Amino acid sequence: MNLNMNSVESLVAQIQGLSGNIGELTQLRNYLKQCDDLLRTESTRLAPLLTELDPSVHSLGYLYILEACTSATVSKDQANELVLSVARFINVCAADQIRLAPEKFISICKRLKEQVVLLEDPMRGVAPLLTSIRKLQSSTEQLTTLHPDFLLLCLMSKCYKTGLSVLEDDVFEVDQPRDLFLYCYYGGMICIGQKKFRKALELLHNVVTAPMPIISAIAVEAFKKYILVSLIHLGQFATSFPKYTSSAAQRNLKNFSQSYLDLVNSYSTGKVSDVENYVQNNKDKFESDNNLGLVKQVVSSMYKRNIQRLTQTYLTLSLQDIANTVQLNSAKEAEMHVLQMIQEGDIYATINQKDGMVRFLEDPEQYKTCEMIERLDFSIQRIMMLSKKVTTMNEVMSCDPSYLGKVGRERQRFDYDDFDTVPSKFNL
C-alpha cells in the first residue's frame, strides 16, 4: 500500500473510502495502526477533521481520530465539550466497527469517565457507558473492562436501578481478574443499596472466594461487607471458608477484619443489648470503613431475626411477651416491628389489637398456582442451560492444547502405573 503518511487529508480520504465491508475495514485498521504516531503528533490539528466524517458510517476512523484528540490534557471548559462529543459518538457509532479496535474504544470511554468525575457530574456518564458496554461486548456473558467504571458511576450518582440492569446478566467470560473483583464489589454495593441482599451476597462471595495469589484491598473490603450482609440476610455467618477459597484469602482475610468477626460473635449470642454495646464501642472503626450504616442495619435485623424465631415456636403470643423476649421497650414498639415485618412478607401473622395478641400463621403459599409452576419451570430451564454450559466448557477444556500439554507432562513424570504394574522402586 502506497500511502502518504504525512498527510492527514489523505487519511480522511482513506477512512471515507474504506468503511464499506469487513475486508476494507480490516485494511483500514492496519493502515490506522501505522498512522498512530502521526495521529499522536498531529492531535491538536485533528478536531476539524471530525466534522468531515460521519460517526455512524466511519466509526472506526472516527474512533481513532477522536481518541487522538482526547488524549491530550484538557481544561475544564474543554472537558465539557469532550464529554459531549464522546457521548455523542458512543451513541451513534457502529458496534461491529468499534469492536475492531476495542482498546481505543475503552480508552475514550475511560477518558469520559475521568472527565465526568472531574466535573463532579457522574450522572452524565451513566447512560453513555451503559451504551458503550452493550456495544463493546459480543455477548451479555462477557465482562468488559468498562463494567467496573460504569458501576462506579452508578454508585456515585446513586443510579442503582440502572446499575442493576447490568448486574442481572450472568457473567462468565472475564479478561482481567481485577475487573471482576471491582465489578463484584461495586455490584455488591449497588445491590446493598437496593436491599437485594441475596444478590449482593452472591457477588461479594465471588470476590472472597475467587482464586487469587495474594489478597487485595478489594477482597478485604468485600469480605467485611460480606460478613455484614450475611448477618443481615441470613442471620448468621459461617466463619469457615468454602474449601475452594484460595489459601491466601483463607490465611489473611480474617486478620484484617477482626472487629467484624467479633461483631459476628456478639450477634450469635442473640442479645440485642450486647450487639448494641459492641457497635457503640467500635463505632469509629466501622465509620472509618464506611460501613456504619450497614452495621446499623445488622443491629436492626436482629429484632427481625428474633421475632421470626418466635413464629417457629408460638401460634399466639401477646405483644408484651414479644417485647420482652426480643428486648424491645414497649408493646407498642413490638407492634410496629411486627407490622413492618408482615408488610415486607417476612412473617405471616395477624395482630389482634383488642387483646394485644399476635397470631402467627403458616406460609399461605400452597405451591398450586400457575406462577409457581412457571417459576419451577424457569428454574429447571436455567439449570439445564447451565449444565449444558458446563459440558461445553469441559469439552473445550479437554481440547485445549496448553491444558493437555500440562496434564501430559505431569502424567509422564508421576504416573508410572500406566507402564508398569509394579511400582518402579521395586524394579531396581
Of 208-216, 249-257, 285-293, 341-349: span binding other proteins (CB under 8 A): 208-216
**Interface with other proteins includes 316 (CB under 8 A)?**
yes
> Binding residues for other proteins, how many (CB under 8 A)?
50
Q: Among residues 170, 374, 417, 420, which is the contact residue for other proteins, using CB under 8 A?
A: 170
Measured from the CB atom, the residue of 42 and 169 that comes closer to other proteins is: 169
**Interface with other proteins includes 206 (CB under 8 A)?**
yes
CB 86 within 8 Å of CB 48: no
Q: Among residues 314, 327, 331, 333, which is the contact residue for other proteins, using CB under 8 A?
A: 314
CB 215 within 8 Å of CB 183: no
Measured from the CB atom, the residue of 18 and 180 that comes closer to other proteins is: 180
CA angle in degrees (0–180, nearest 5) for 304-310-315: 130
Interacting residues with other proteins between 230 and 249 (CB under 8 A): 244
Q: How far apart are CA 278 and CA 297, in angstroms?
A: 14
The identity of residue 208, as a single letter, is V
Considering all CA atoms of the chain, what is the largest pairwise distance in Å, rounded to the nearest integer?
95
Please, what's the b/e burial string for 24-50 (b: 16 or more CB within 10 A of its CB; e: otherwise)? ebeebbebbeebeebbeebbeebeebb
**Interface with other proteins includes 393 (CB under 8 A)?**
yes
CB of 258 to other proteins, least distance (A): 26
Q: Among residues 9, 175, 344, 420, which is the contact residue for other proteins, using CB under 8 A?
A: 175
**Interface with other proteins includes 217 (CB under 8 A)?**
no
**CA 346 to centroid of chain Cα atoms:** 27
Nearest to 112 by CA among 76, 80, 151, 64: 80
Q: How far apart are CA 314 and CA 396, in angstroms?
A: 55
Of 26-34, 77-85, 152-160, 363-371: span binding other proteins (CB under 8 A): 363-371
Return the DSSP state at 242: P
Q: Among residues 300, 379, 391, 412, which is the contact residue for other proteins, using CB under 8 A?
A: 379
CB of 81 to other proteins, least distance (A): 34
CB 358 within 8 Å of CB 350: yes
Q: How far apart are CA 323 and CA 340, in angstroms?
A: 15
CB of 316 to other proteins, least distance (A): 4
Measured from the CB atom, the residue of 343 and 402 that comes closer to other proteins is: 402
Beta strands in 91-197 (DSSP E): 142-143, 173-174
Of 64-72, 207-215, 227-235, 254-262: span binding other proteins (CB under 8 A): 207-215
CB of 33 to other proteins, least distance (A): 15
**Interface with other proteins includes 402 (CB under 8 A)?**
yes
C-alpha cell at 68: 487522538
CB 209 within 8 Å of CB 245: yes
**Interface with other proteins includes 130 (CB under 8 A)?**
no
CB of 244 to other proteins, least distance (A): 7
**Interface with other proteins includes 169 (CB under 8 A)?**
no
Rounded to the nearest 10 degrees, the angle between the axes of helix 272-281 and helix 258-268 is 160
Which contiguous run of DSSP H or E holds residue 136? helix 123-136
CB of 172 to other proteins, least distance (A): 5
CB of 115 to other proteins, least distance (A): 29
Residues in CB range of 402: below 8 A, 6 or more apart? none
Of 44-52, 282-290, 293-301, 367-375: span binding other proteins (CB under 8 A): 367-375
Sole residue written with cell 449444558: 388
**Interface with other proteins includes 347 (CB under 8 A)?**
no
Q: Among residues 124, 196, 205, 337, which is the contact residue for other proteins, using CB under 8 A?
A: 205
CB 285 within 8 Å of CB 259: yes
Round to the nearest angstrom and report the end-to-end CA distance of the chain.
68
**Interface with other proteins includes 209 (CB under 8 A)?**
yes
Q: Return residues touching other proteins (CB under 8 A).
A: 170-177, 180, 202, 205-206, 209-211, 213, 244, 309, 312-318, 321, 355, 357, 359-360, 363, 365-367, 372, 375-376, 379-380, 382-383, 386-387, 389-390, 393, 397, 402-403, 406
